[in-house]
């Protein structure tokens, strides 16, 4: 346990020194500012760009438009930034030999995997929370009176999908020493999840469903209970991949 706590501190400090934490927080903070502003200004911008004599009628922007931008940015650019930032979390240290030195001095390999995953989840959580709070504050200010339902559960689904993706990324990192190989394996995992949606009954168990139904939740066109199975399966898969990562890393030749 002492190795685990000490290595978490080391990982967080390294994330600060290598600007990983700063990049994540700044990008997600920027998303938080942009989401409601884009929703508010898009109709005016479109009208300004239209040629004379041409007019279009757009619905009045609302809080739903702001949260649409939030979920779109997090599930697309936000997830991509997270994967790129953490793709070298294990491979870089192995290639430099810094991790090998610590392991030869008695550091537990399980502690390495668990602490790295904990660090990833902590930074992901902080990033999502910052983006959510900034978006929520600006949305309330720009669209007073507009209310949405199931918002916290929708954000939880996005967060859990990021937790799953972090586990997949770390699992991929234990299979290869190359950062590019890690990205390819992670991408392959996402493609497999996408292909699973071809099977109609698989959709409600697919982790991708957590990132695809957020607007359906806040517009109340989908029941919260319909994603309960998906939440459980995603949590189990995340745990299984971390457990597999520990087993593989214990037997890995460094």
pLDDT of residue 106: 66
Distance of CA 64 to the CA centre of its chain: 21
154-199 confidence digits (pLDDT tens): 999 999 999 999 999 999 988 887 778 888 888 898 899 888 888 8
Residue 152 has pLDDT above 90, yes or no: yes
Check residues 180 and 152 and name the one with the higher pLDDT. 152
Tell me the HSE value of 120 on the side-chain side, using a 13 A CA sphere: 30
108-147 confidence digits (pLDDT tens): 788 888 999 999 999 999 999 999 999 999 888 888 877 8
pLDDT of residue 45: 60
Q: Is 106 left (phi over 0), alpha (psi -120 to 50) or beta?
A: left
pLDDT of residue 42: 67
52-76 confidence digits (pLDDT tens): 555 555 567 778 888 888 999 998 8
- The torsion defined by the Cα of 65, 76, 31 and 9, in degrees rounded to 10, comes to 140
pLDDT of residue 121: 94
Sign of CA dihedral 69, 217, 221, 81: positive
Residue 50 has pLDDT above 70, yes or no: no
pLDDT of residue 58: 58
pLDDT of residue 168: 94
Please, which pLDDT band fits residue 1 given cuts at 50, 70 and 90? low
Residue bearing tokens 């390819």: 184
Rounded to whole angstroms, the Cα distance separating 230 from 166 reads 17
193-238 confidence digits (pLDDT tens): 888 888 878 888 899 989 888 888 888 888 888 899 999 999 999 9
Helix and strand numbers (H, E) in the chain are 11, 0
pLDDT of residue 48: 56
Q: What 8-state DSSP symbol labels residue 205?
A: G
pLDDT of residue 158: 94
The set of residues, in sequence order, having a beta carbon less than 8 Å from that of 126 and lying 6+ positions away, is 21, 24, 25
239-247, Cβ contacts within 8 angstroms, sequence gap of 24 or more: 239/167, 241/167, 241/168, 241/170, 241/171, 242/113, 242/114, 242/117, 242/167, 242/170, 242/171, 244/171, 244/174, 245/113, 245/117, 245/167, 245/170, 245/171, 245/173, 245/174, 246/109, 246/110, 246/113, 246/114
Q: What is the pTM of this model?
A: 0.90
- Best-predicted range by mean pLDDT (3-7, 145-149, 243-247): 243-247
């Amino acid at each position: 346990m002492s190795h685990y706590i000490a290595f978490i501190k080391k990982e967080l400090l390294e994330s600060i020194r290598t600007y990983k934490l700063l990049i994540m927080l700044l990008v997600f903070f920027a998303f938080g500012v942009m989401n409601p502003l884009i929703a508010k200004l898009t109709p005016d911008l479109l009208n300004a760009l239209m040629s004379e004599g041409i007019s279009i009628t757009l619905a009045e922007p609302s809080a739903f438009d702001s949260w649409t931008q939030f979920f779109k940015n997090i599930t697309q650019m936000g997830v991509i930034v997270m994967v790129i930032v953490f793709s070298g979390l294990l491979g870089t240290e192995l290639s430099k030999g810094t991790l090998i030195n610590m392991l030869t001095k008695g550091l537990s390999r399980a502690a390495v995997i668990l602490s790295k995953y904990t660090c990833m989840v902590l930074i992901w959580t902080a990033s999502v929370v910052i983006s959510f709070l900034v978006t929520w504050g600006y949305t309330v200010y720009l669209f007073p009176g507009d209310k949405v339902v199931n918002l916290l559960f929708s954000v939880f689904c996005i967060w859990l999908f990021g937790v799953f993706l972090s586990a997949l990324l770390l699992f991929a990192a234990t299979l290869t020493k190359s950062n590019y190989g890690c990205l390819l394996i992670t991408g392959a995992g996402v493609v497999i999840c996408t292909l699973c949606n071809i099977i109609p009954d698989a959709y409600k168990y697919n982790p991708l469903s957590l990132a695809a139904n957020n607007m359906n939740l806040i517009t109340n066109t989908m029941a919260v209970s319909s994603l309960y199975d998906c939440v459980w399966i995603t949590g189990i898969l995340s745990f299984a991949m971390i457990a597999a990562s520990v087993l593989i890393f214990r037997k890995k030749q460094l």
